[in-house]
Amino acid sequence: MLNQNCRTPYIMHRLLFLVLAQLLTTGTCDTNPDPEHKEKHEGNMFVPWTYEDQDWSKDYELCNGNSQSPINIDTDETILNKKLPSITLEGYNLSETEQLDLSNDGHTVKLSLPDSMSISHGFTQKYLATQLHFHWGSGATSGSEHTVDGFQYAAEMHIVHFAAKYGHLNKAALKADGIAVLGVLFQIGAEDNKNYDHIFDKLQDIAEEGANVHIPGFDINMLLPNQLYRFFRYNGSFTTPPCFQSVTWTVFNETVQISQAQLDKLETSLKTGHGMLDSNFRHAQPLNRRTVFASFSSLTSSRRIVPKENSVKLDEDDKSVDGNHFTLGDTLAVIFGTLFGCTVLAFVIYLLKQRKRQRSNTERGQKVIYKPAATMEA
Ligand SMILES: *[C@@H]1O[C@H](CO)[C@@H](O)[C@H](O)[C@H]1NC(C)=O
Ligand SMILES: *[C@@H]1O[C@H](CO)[C@@H](O)[C@H](O)[C@H]1NC(C)=O
Ligand SMILES: [Zn+2]
């Protein structure tokens, strides 16, 4: 947003911002602004906000809405929806000749993205990319915004897209179906994730709030998990003021691993006007009456092969399966499920037979090992 030479003192920077914001709203200037981090109130009032005091609704009423983000995703409450198409990305492999703007806007590190990048399939309409940014913690504190079954991940990346039909991010941000954000959760792994060095290696150059550098394009696909067909989907909001409730969220189930050293870099490289830029995550918001869909059945995860309560929730959806997305995992799950069922049935029959034989044995007065079972029956 604020481009070159922004090492001006804090107040100057804020004033500049105000002027810019005015220009933008009167439409005289088009610099790809970012509503997720737009510090503007209805009536063009400028109100700063911080992560320390998250009572944002005093100044930004919408932040008190009933479809806010992030949320805790309770996997037991998610509804399986196999009709949700896999996310397909187009134009994500950027050429090195493309210059991307990497900036510290005082709330996050943001990488601008060209609108030649898009989500080509996954929704009933096309969404164009505009920027990606991160949320993180500090020291021993985790920093993801979405939590899964109450677990907070190390950090989270958001890739922000706007509906092509609205033509511009600012317009789309005000429409119910205007924005699609892809959310990626991070976990700590043993190895450096080299794909992130394009960004993390430059953090030291944008330590000051308002600073920016240009970095050459690279393959943004490499920042994403492999399984783009396993995700949670719900209707929510931007996680920063003014908290517009126009975001269709996709939070991937597969996490991405970065090293502890890389996380440390993210947590300690950037500053704001008044201190370290860290712990920039919003706390989970009430779900209210919203539904969170899962594009995948937990049956396909190695952890839960045994059918659980899936008979209730999953069955309704299974009726409407359109075969659109029947993965190898699904097939295996069905095969193993059937095998498991057959084994259980065979075992039960075997037990019954054993018991019958047992009984006839005891009737004939033979002493056998099965006595304790008889008392249990009583
Ligand atoms: C989001 O809201 C729209 C409009 O109310 C609705 O059609 C859609 O099913 C909702 N999507 C989810 C994932 O809840
Ligand atoms: C992925 O899905 C499994 C199965 O539902 C769940 O146990 C796990 O917590 C999920 N993890 C994430 C990061 O979504
Ligand atoms: Zn975000």
Q: Dump pLDDT digits (tens) for 277-313.
A: 999 999 999 999 999 999 999 754 444 433 434 433 4
With a 6 Å cutoff on the Cβ, whether 75 touches ligand 2 is yes
Q: Identify the pLDDT of residue 321.
A: 33
Start-to-end CA span in the chain (Å): 77
Residue to substitute in 125, 233, 235 for testing ligand 1 pocket (most ligand atoms within 8 angstroms of CB):
235
With a 6 Å cutoff on the Cβ, whether 107 touches ligand 1 is no
Atom of ligand 1 nearest to the CA of 290: 14
- The tokens for 146 are 């979405």
Work out the pLDDT band at 249, boundaries 50, 70, 90.
very high
Residue 197 to residue 86: CA distance in whole angstroms: 27
Verdict on whether the full-model pTM lies above 0.75: no
Higher pLDDT, 353 or 205: 205
39 pLDDT more than 70: no
Higher pLDDT, 350 or 29: 350
148-157, 234-243, 254-263, 351-360: segment of lowest average pLDDT: 351-360
Work out the pLDDT band at 133, boundaries 50, 70, 90.
very high
- Protein residue with least CA distance to atom 11, ligand 2: 253
Q: Identify the pLDDT of residue 45.
A: 56
Q: Identify the pLDDT of residue 298.
A: 76
275: alpha, beta or left? (left if phi > 0; alpha if psi -120 to 50): left
With a 6 Å cutoff on the Cβ, whether 185 touches ligand 2 is yes
Residue 34 to residue 40: CA distance in whole angstroms: 11
Residue 356 to residue 269: CA distance in whole angstroms: 73
11 pLDDT more than 70: no
Contact predicate 49/41, CB 8 Å: no
- Protein residue with least CA distance to atom 13, ligand 1: 234
With a 6 Å cutoff on the Cβ, whether 149 touches ligand 2 is yes
Q: Just list the catalytic residues.
A: 107
